[in-house]
A and B are shown apart, each in its own frame.
Chain A
Amino acid sequence: DIQMTQSPSSVSASVGDRVTVTCRASQGISSYLAWYQHKPGKAPKLLIYAASSLQSGVPSRFSGSGSGTDFTLTISSLQPEDFATYFCQQANSFPLTFGGGTKVEI
């Protein structure tokens, strides 16, 4: 199975801050990497797929980069509605695996 290591597990930030989350795969997954946002009691939401493609309707302050084993999610200017938990997921092969999550909080 492909292990996904995500860091940090939590980050304290303020509105307007630039936030970066990293994800590392235990083996190369090309660009088969997705990022999700999850708020308590809500359905997780796809933000980024194929490592850097923005899902339709997602604000452009979200961006993704990387390939192979190392990936990054960046929020360029944090907005109040962005306080949530973010997960990476390898989309290369079954079993699908997720990073442990990054909680972005004030």
Chain B
Amino acid sequence: EVQLVESGGGLVKPGGSLRLSCAASGFTFSTYGMNWVRQAPGKGLEWVSFISSDSSYKYYADSVKGRFTISRDNAKNSLYLQMNSLRAEDTAVYYCTTRSGPGEILDYWGQGTLVTVSS
């Protein structure tokens, strides 16, 4: 059974940093591209970032480019999101997802971790 478990969320002040983790199990992590997607309170879903299976490709939403960094450790079956220069508008539940084809399908999701940016 595919499992994705996010962790690392919490309360942080504007301008602060946070590192999210996603522990994957139940599938061959090293062969899957992965994404981070977020949902702000009362809002819809927003894609944040993608990383290819071998980390050779990384894409970011304009809203986080230059502030967030996606990475992965295939030996540890883990995905990460380093978030710097956090803003109030980054407050959201952050989900990690697998990526499958055709196209960019988000076929499995974790239950999310809440990030709150507030003074």
Contacts and interface: CB of A to CB of B under 8 A. Distances in A.
Interface extent on A, as a size class? 20 to 34
Interface stretch (B10-18, B44-52, B71-79, B82-90): B44-52
A91 to B, nearest CB: 3
Interface extent on B, as a size class? 20 to 34
Interface in A46-99: 46, 49-50, 55, 87, 89, 91-99
Interface class of chain A by DSSP: loop
Contact of A100 (B37, B44, B50): B44
A99 B44 contact: yes
Interface in B82-119: 95, 100, 102-112
Contacts of A44: 45, 95, 106, 109
Most buried by A among B45, B59, B110: B45
Given A31-B102, A94-B50, A98-B45, 11 more contacts: A36-B45, A43-B95, A44-B45, A44-B106, A49-B103, A87-B45, A94-B47, A95-B62, A96-B47, A96-B50, A101-B45
